[in-house]
Structure 1
Amino acid sequence: MWEYVANITIRIENIIVEYIDIDYYRWLTWLLAPLILTFLLPGIIIILLYMTAIILYIYKWHRVRLKTAYEEQDLWQTARNIVAILWDAHGFLWHGFEITGLEYIPKDSAALIIYYHGAIPVDLYYFIAKVFLFRNRLIHTVADRFLFNIPGWKIISEVLKVIPGTVQTCSTILKEGNLLAISPGGVYEAQFSTSYELMWKKRLGFAKVAIDAKVPIIPMFTENVREAFRAVSLGRRIWLKLYAWTKFPFAPIYGGFPVKMRTHLGAPIPYDENLTPEELQTKVHQALSELIAKHQRIPGSITQSLIERVYVSPNKNLKLINSDDNEFHIA
């Protein structure tokens, strides 16, 4: 009898242990799910980039057949339209993406667009797509060199005119009457700018390009771009050292939050032959800083940015001043 009771006791204990294990794992999954999702959502952008590459490869493989069938002079134009629709749809559905100041984009002349670099420049992708669809102009862009080693990037850079960028090549593109977008802060700004501060160091390349090509500069900033995606700031010193050694962005990216995103274009800064590259850099830096101060709540709030998809607070546009140490404070 005692043996029978002992067996029942053991079975009950096993059931309790199994129940606790199941309950524990359910609790752990519920607790960690938001954290896991914040690091998985950026993968959507990677998927979209590879979808872009696949679409372009399909057109490349069937180029001769399609050209014969449709008698197109520029077959890539159709491929660009499809890709632009894909990105514009994602921007509209996920971020309610909008542009203010689109009238500053010239219809048929050259201009240099200088923009603030988010953790992932998804706003630039949306912006390029919308300008292509609604202004019928393809914006050439300068990208960091490490991107050109990523499988699938070659076809994207070839069709969508993405270049590593030297002063000479950028100047030539503008002299041919094209639009060109550059972020002077680049990957460094993407990884380490936490409060929308411009991190250009002493980079003058873009100013030299504008002066040599004699084109206006259009400042560009996207509201809440750093609330959509953020770089992990924990272990900042380690990420800085790794970046300094390799020039590769090691800091993990998280986010993908469907916050409201609105790109603002400032009034063009006209070409002035009397300005030196240093003076022009300062002028553009000030114009872009003012654009950020006017349109961005600092510090940023993911929750508030999500709410702005449906409601914009009348107190949102607080007066923000850019201090000498590149930090913002409320006036």
Structure 2
Amino acid sequence: MADAAVSSASEEGTLALFTHMLKNWIGFDYLEEYLSYKWLLLAVILLYAIYPIIFFTAFIISLLLNIWKKKNNLPEDTFDKSWDLPKQVAAHFVEAVGRILHGYEVIGMENLPEGPGIIIYYHGAIVVDYLLLVAQIYIQTGKSTCSVVHHLTAQMPGIQLLLKMIGCKNANRDECVQILKEGHLLGIAPGGIRESNFSDEYYSLMWGNRVGFAKVALEAKVPIIPIFTENLRESYRTLGKIWLTKWVCDHIGVVILPIYGGFPVKLRTHIGEPITYDPNITATELAQKTKVAIENLRDKYQERPGNILRALLERFEKCHKDN
């Protein structure tokens, strides 16, 4: 008991000293009143905790891959057959996690083309559904899926080999066309960071005037495959959707809002019918057609606004909704 009291007094003394130093530095007389609420600091830490957890997990996996690569003398080309084993292990691990946490299902796998194509998806707060889909595609078809990611993600140190193995790249238009011409599937979320941060339980698509993916599809002469995942916004949600953060996102391009969630809700990805290549359609028209296709999937399968409790209860349903 005495040791606990000494420890508590020591913590309070340290906090008081820090508060006093900070108050003198910024000249704010009422700082103690704000810093005395330890729960507030804890809440902020928890809301941002998901980001370092994701990075740390990716770092450990990438480290293990580097060890495996060196011990087995694997080539730099991660599309080489010698990379199949680590890919299979990773895919089956992701599948198991998805099945346990979200009872994950994919409806419409037959709509994926045998050759190349562009997968267009709605960007949730965290793209857990897309990662699960990529794993399912590899398990069921043996095809690796490439993915266009934000340049900050592509440049993160320590996880480069993992990103390379799962085909993540901040690819430009020419690189995207080349990926498709090599016969791969390519995943793109036109809504990007803005949709990730500022869309909500109504699942509004926030694409703006982005038509780059449509230009790539027309140039590569490949189909577009629209997909949508039920309850994605009920697994993770963002906080801080105010005018200031939206302004920062629009003008600077990067904003990281705090996230809460990790709820084990039912996730079910619906793969829509492919939008086939049509040389007589413009990129703007194709982009709009794709957006409508995803909105139709959303309206058919997602009850809006999303509800976390309802999404949790759907774990006990035996059949997916058809109407």
Structure 2 length as normaliser, TM-score? 0.80
Residue 50 (structure 1) aligns with: 59
1:40 deviates by: 4.5
Cα distance 1:153–1:267, how it changes in 2: closer, same or farther (>3 A)? Answer: same
Q: May I ask how many residue pairs the two structures share in their alignment?
A: 284
Secondary structure of the structure 2 residue equivalent to 1:308: helix
Residue 77 (structure 1) aligns with: 84
Residue 119 (structure 1) aligns with: 125
Residue 110 (structure 1) aligns with: 116
Q: Which amino acid aligns with 1:113?
A: I
Q: How does 1:82-93 map to 2 (within 5 A)?
A: 82-93=89-100
1:47 deviates by: 4.6
Residue 147 (structure 1) aligns with: 153
Residue 173 (structure 2) aligns with: 167
2:66 matches 1:60: no
Separation in structure 2 between the aligned mates of residue 149 and residue 263 of structure 1, nearest angstrom: 29
**What whole-Å deviation, never above 9, does each CA across 1:212-250 have from its counterpart, x for those lacking one?**
01011110111111110111135x222213323432232
Residue 244 (structure 1) aligns with: 250
Q: Is the 8 A contact 1:242 1:250 kept in 2?
A: no
Separation in structure 2 between the aligned mates of residue 46 and residue 317 of structure 1, nearest angstrom: 37
Q: Is the 8 A contact 1:55 1:83 kept in 2?
A: no
Q: How does 1:1-331 map to 2 (within 5 A)?
A: 40=49, 45-64=54-73, 74-107=81-114, 109-194=115-200, 195-234=202-241, 236-311=242-317
Cα distance 1:32–1:119, how it changes in 2: closer, same or farther (>3 A)? Answer: same
Cα distance 1:141–1:313, how it changes in 2: closer, same or farther (>3 A)? Answer: closer
**What whole-Å deviation, never above 9, does each CA across 1:117-144 have from its counterpart, x for those lacking one?**
0001011111111111111111100001
Q: Is the 8 A contact 1:227 1:305 kept in 2?
A: yes
Q: Which runs of 5+ in 1 are unaligned?
A: 1-27, 68-72, 319-331
Separation in structure 2 between the aligned mates of residue 310 and residue 36 of structure 1, nearest angstrom: 33
Q: Is the 8 A contact 2:123 2:192 kept in 1?
A: yes
Separation in structure 2 between the aligned mates of residue 49 and residue 289 of structure 1, nearest angstrom: 32
Separation in structure 2 between the aligned mates of residue 187 and residue 132 of structure 1, nearest angstrom: 26
Residue 11 (structure 1) aligns with: none
Cα distance 1:252–1:214, how it changes in 2: closer, same or farther (>3 A)? Answer: same
1:75 deviates by: 2.4
CA RMSD across the alignment: 2.9
Cα distance 1:149–1:303, how it changes in 2: closer, same or farther (>3 A)? Answer: same
Q: Which runs of 5+ in 2 are unaligned?
A: 1-36
Q: Is the 8 A contact 1:148 1:154 kept in 2?
A: yes
Q: Is the 8 A contact 2:229 2:269 kept in 1?
A: yes
1:297 deviates by: 1.1
Larger Cα Rg: Structure 1 or Structure 2? Answer: 1
Q: Which amino acid aligns with 1:129?
A: A
Q: Is the 8 A contact 1:211 1:277 kept in 2?
A: yes
Q: Is the 8 A contact 1:119 1:191 kept in 2?
A: yes
